Structure 1
Amino acid sequence: MLLVYTHKITPRLNYIFKHYFVRILQIPVVFTTKVDEFVAHSGPKITYSKTPLGSEFFIRSHDLLFEQGINDIDITVSKWDKVPCFFAAGETSSIPFDIFAAGFYLMSRYEEYLPHVQDKHERFPAEESLAVKNGFIEKPVIDIWAYKFLEQLKIKFPNYNYKEREYKLISTIDVDNAFAYKHKGVVRTFGGFLNDIFHVRLFNFWYRLLSILNFRPDPFNTFNELLEIKKEYDVTTLFFFLIGDYTTFDKNISSSSNKFKSLIKSVADYAKVGLHPSYFTVKNAEKLKKEKLRLENIINTPITFSRQHYLRLSIPETYQNLIDLDIEEDYTMGYAKVVGFRASTCTPFYFYDLDFEIQTPLKIFPFAIMDVTLKEYMKLSNEESLNKIMKLKEEVKKVNGTFITLFHNETLSENEYWKGWKTIYKKVVID
């Protein structure tokens, strides 16, 4: 057990210290504001305040963890050895930066509460983030800081029994379009044929016809392959089904389709199924509730996890709506345009609501890569995409974190656009 002396115990301080010590470093932590209790403690202990009590392990605190609400904060990013860091702590501090205040700033998504220009989908733009501006988006710096801090702690307290967590991989599959051609209804199917003719896509026309007549498998129906990989290699795999009403941005087949219901049920027999809330649920609690109930009625099981379609996330409103509906886990934390770590950590964490200054029960699982990001936004080749994924995976392995990937069922279709991505998927989740 680690004892932390501080002049004031706040919800922010309790929240971020437990992330560093309990979830990353596997060290139980307790707090005290009593000097005599701190002095009497014989185990590992640190002071987190403005001034040290003596010659103990001391971290000079930034004001952030003792404040409330949102303020405009001046941030200068420097280097701790070769690792970007901020909130310099001065020469008296045992480590050069207040990693706890810095970690809270990044993980609470403090910057997303500040005024910013949204992108065309009303999202917080990646390029506005501190991590992208300062070139550390592809490093889980909070976890790296934690292990650098641990090195110093081990020097000060070498006899303490330090545990080590295990690296994990979670493969998540978004089902935006369960089928490329089949079960779309008469109007959409006829429109698809006309569109193929108008754009002179003769191969597409032919494949559409063969699939609809059951002479050829629908290319997006890759669920058996995904489940086989899950079973054979014991890959933790989660499926997120989009079952919202048809819109410009939500184009899955109808949730009333018996074929679609049957597919969802069959996947749910072998893997965990979550909700992929549709485009317009981002600030619409009623629509979100409707879709959650719709999926629960299909699989006859409570839905406890979700990821927003188009990664549309309005903090804190979207998360507040999810909490109200008893969603326990969310997997939206990531960017569409760039790969990396939106919250600067590869460790699942609980959402801290800055509006109410509380740690909520909603657990956030930040993903590191999305297939569409690599191919469409970053315009990388297959080889470049695989190299980028493996580089990020190695960053997570270095800190024994949780590597979460986001693929789509159509990514394994081996159609002209996604040629070779089945191999990429296997290499990523198996190696």
Structure 2
Amino acid sequence: MLASNILLIYTDQQSSRLTYIINTLFQGEATITSNLIYFNTFTGQRINYSSTEITGVTCHIYPHGILIENDIKPQKINIFEWKNKPAFFQTDGSIPFDLFAAAFYLITRYEEWLPHETDELSRYKPEQSLAYQNDFLQFPLINFWLSKLKEELNMEIKYQFSFRPSFDIDIAYSYLHHSSIRNILGYFKDLLNFKFTQLAERLQVLAGVQRDPYDIYDWLHLLHESLELKPLYFFLVASNRNSLHKNISPGTVAMQALMIAHSKKYTVGLHPSVVQKNTEQTLQKEKKLLENIIEQPVKHSRQHYIHLKFPETYKALVDSGIEADYSMGYPQINGFRASYTKPFNWFNLATNLPTSLMVYPFCYMDATAIFHEKKTVLEAAKILDEFYSLHQQYGGVFIPIFHNNFLTKQPAFIDWRNLYADFLLKHCTR
């Protein structure tokens, strides 16, 4: 007999999809049975997840059907309100919708497996998502549903919260360690465009009079160590330089020294190149390169420009031995892409099975706030605080994304640098 503090869920139609979503949502607090006699004699909290009413069971979720399907097809979705928040897959039951099916639809990014529009980088456009169109993109709706379900069941609600800042090192240095040709061309470009401040900055850095503006690593180290934080760093090691890949060559002594130094203090991950073909081949090549430089396995990744496509990206990560990915968010709009704050295993809808890849969602990126949403610093600070509070309220790992080149002392970014420091001092000072 199971302990009575475990939630027991009855179903007359077992499936890999149902097992996955129950394991993801309840994380060991619930189990599934098809044994009706056992279910009826169980003394703990129970949910009847079937189309048949069971006497004495007050919590009944009537199945929608998507969890027993094996294919991927368009789903009819009508939004209604439950507990003053959006819900869908409405059915008959004490809970008026199939909460498990709706959560599965959102977490697996089911809608992104269906035909959709893409942007210039072949990325999914968030404006066509259910969350954006129904005004819950900035809210972790699945967490809310689950909290209300547990209240209905009178279950103890445990919220485990943690915070871990992360950095994408797309351009490690602005002037130093780049090729002479690039600096010469940059010099004349600044001159022709009358950018005399940048021209003087370049000359002073190259002359050794001034620190490279993007070299903020010592400042970050001191800040993080004083607050006992362990950030994540993702390095772009693209071999070919172009408009999307502007980092200095991973073959330079300076770039390798930077990556090695960080790997000795923090978790270092790969920032895979944006490629349209041979995704897995490029990924494996870059992963091996980074591993050879830092002399340790690389198990973490985040896609450059959040270039995330289903199922190609995650399949390539799994096949390459990546264990954790941090790309589950939108580059165009800050918010909850999967409507959930907690890490979860990626479910491959093509095979209808969960995988070993752990997905860590993010909901805030500085580049998104600055360039896409065009927020002021005050507006961005408010959003950052709100997302932090939502994670505190509902649990999960808050992993905002920052870039070294947007936290400089340069006039355009000094306020964003101060925003980051102020945010840490506000929330992480003990």
Question: TM-score per shorter chain, which class?
Answer: over 0.9
In structure 1, the residue corresponding to 2:117 is in which secondary structure? coil
Q: 2:43 maps to which residue?
A: 42
Q: 1:303 maps to which residue?
A: 298
Please state how far the C-alpha of 1:125 moved relative to its aligned partner: 0.4
Q: 2:109 maps to which residue?
A: 109
Q: Does residue 389 of structure 1 match 2:384?
A: yes
Q: 2:349 maps to which residue?
A: 354
Equivalent residue in structure 2 for 1:8, among 13, 21, 35: 13
Distance 2:20 2:278 in 1: 26
> What does 1:153-164 align with in structure 2 at a 5 Å threshold?
153-154=153-154, 162=156, 164=158
Q: Residues 229-276 of structure 1, C-alpha deviation per residue, up to 9 Å, x if partnerless?
A: 221112230000001121221010011100110111111111110000
- Going from structure 1 to structure 2, the CA distance change for 1:209 and 1:126 (only over 3 Å counts) comes to same
Q: Residues 60-99 of structure 1, C-alpha deviation per residue, up to 9 Å, x if partnerless?
A: 1110111111111111111112211111122xx2222211
Q: Residues 361-412 of structure 1, C-alpha deviation per residue, up to 9 Å, x if partnerless?
A: 0011110100011111111111111011112222222112221100001122
Distance 1:365 1:253 in 2: 28
Q: 1:426 maps to which residue?
A: 421
Equivalent residue in structure 1 for 2:84, among 82, 85, 92: 82
Q: Residues 29-56 of structure 1, C-alpha deviation per residue, up to 9 Å, x if partnerless?
A: 2211111111121122211111222230
Q: 2:64 maps to which residue?
A: 62
Q: Residues 135-167 of structure 1, C-alpha deviation per residue, up to 9 Å, x if partnerless?
A: 10000011111101110010xxxxx6x361321
Q: Residues 180-215 of structure 1, C-alpha deviation per residue, up to 9 Å, x if partnerless?
A: 111001111111111111211111011011111111
In structure 2, the residue corresponding to 1:206 is in which secondary structure? helix
Q: 1:157 maps to which residue?
A: none
Deviates more, 1:274-283 or 1:49-58: 274-283
Equivalent residue in structure 1 for 2:169, among 175, 181, 204: 175
Distance 2:112 2:242 in 1: 27
Q: 1:52 maps to which residue?
A: 53
In structure 1, the residue corresponding to 2:47 is in which secondary structure? strand
Equivalent residue in structure 2 for 1:235, among 206, 229, 242: 229
Distance 1:281 1:287 in 2: 10
Please state how far the C-alpha of 1:223 moved relative to its aligned partner: 1.2
In structure 2, the residue corresponding to 1:49 is in which secondary structure? coil
In structure 1, the residue corresponding to 2:265 is in which secondary structure? coil
Q: Give the letter aligned to residue 2 of structure 1.
A: L
In structure 2, the residue corresponding to 1:58 is in which secondary structure? coil
Q: 2:3 maps to which residue?
A: none
Q: Give the letter aligned to residue 95 of structure 1.
A: I
Q: Does residue 326 of structure 1 match 2:321?
A: yes
Distance 1:282 1:241 in 2: 21
Q: Give the letter aligned to residue 177 of structure 1.
A: I
Deviates more, 1:178-187 or 1:227-236: 227-236
Question: How many pairs are equivalent?
Answer: 419
Q: Give the letter aligned to residue 308 of structure 1.
A: Q
> What does 1:18-417 align with in structure 2 at a 5 Å threshold?
18-22=23-27, 28-56=29-57, 57-90=59-92, 93-154=93-154, 162=156, 164-245=158-239, 246-280=241-275, 284-417=279-412
Tell me, yes or no, if the aligned pair for 2:147 and 2:157 is still in contact at 8 Å.
no
In structure 2, the residue corresponding to 1:363 is in which secondary structure? strand
Distance 2:249 2:294 in 1: 16
How does the TM-score come out when normalised to structure 2? 0.95
Please state how far the C-alpha of 1:429 moved relative to its aligned partner: 3.5
Tell me, yes or no, if the aligned pair for 1:282 and 1:318 is still in contact at 8 Å.
no
- Going from structure 1 to structure 2, the CA distance change for 1:410 and 1:282 (only over 3 Å counts) comes to farther
In structure 2, the residue corresponding to 1:254 is in which secondary structure? coil
Q: Give the letter aligned to residue 19 of structure 1.
A: T
In structure 1, the residue corresponding to 2:201 is in which secondary structure? helix
Q: Does residue 17 of structure 1 match 2:17?
A: no
- Going from structure 1 to structure 2, the CA distance change for 1:429 and 1:311 (only over 3 Å counts) comes to same
Q: CA RMSD in A?
A: 1.3
Q: Residues 110-132 of structure 1, C-alpha deviation per residue, up to 9 Å, x if partnerless?
A: 00011111111100001111100
Tell me, yes or no, if the aligned pair for 1:283 and 1:318 is still in contact at 8 Å.
no
Distance 2:341 2:423 in 1: 16
Q: Give the letter aligned to residue 325 of structure 1.
A: S
Which runs of 5 or more structure 1 residues have no equivalent in the other structure?
155-159
Q: Give the letter aligned to residue 16 of structure 1.
A: I
Tell me, yes or no, if the aligned pair for 1:5 and 1:47 is still in contact at 8 Å.
yes
Distance 2:266 2:217 in 1: 11
Tell me, yes or no, if the aligned pair for 1:174 and 1:409 is still in contact at 8 Å.
yes
Tell me, yes or no, if the aligned pair for 1:350 and 1:361 is still in contact at 8 Å.
yes
In structure 1, the residue corresponding to 2:358 is in which secondary structure? strand
Tell me, yes or no, if the aligned pair for 1:137 and 1:342 is still in contact at 8 Å.
yes
Please state how far the C-alpha of 1:428 moved relative to its aligned partner: 2.9
Distance 2:276 2:232 in 1: 21
Distance 2:275 2:204 in 1: 34
Tell me, yes or no, if the aligned pair for 1:127 and 1:133 is still in contact at 8 Å.
yes
Which runs of 5 or more structure 2 residues have no equivalent in the other structure?
1-5
Please state how far the C-alpha of 1:282 moved relative to its aligned partner: 7.2
Write out the 4+ residue segments of structure 1 that deviate beyond 6 Å after TM superposition. Answer: none
Q: Give the letter aligned to residue 87 of structure 1.
A: F
Distance 1:209 1:284 in 2: 39
Distance 1:239 1:47 in 2: 45
In structure 1, the residue corresponding to 2:220 is in which secondary structure? helix
Tell me, yes or no, if the aligned pair for 1:169 and 1:236 is still in contact at 8 Å.
no
% identical equivalent positions: 34
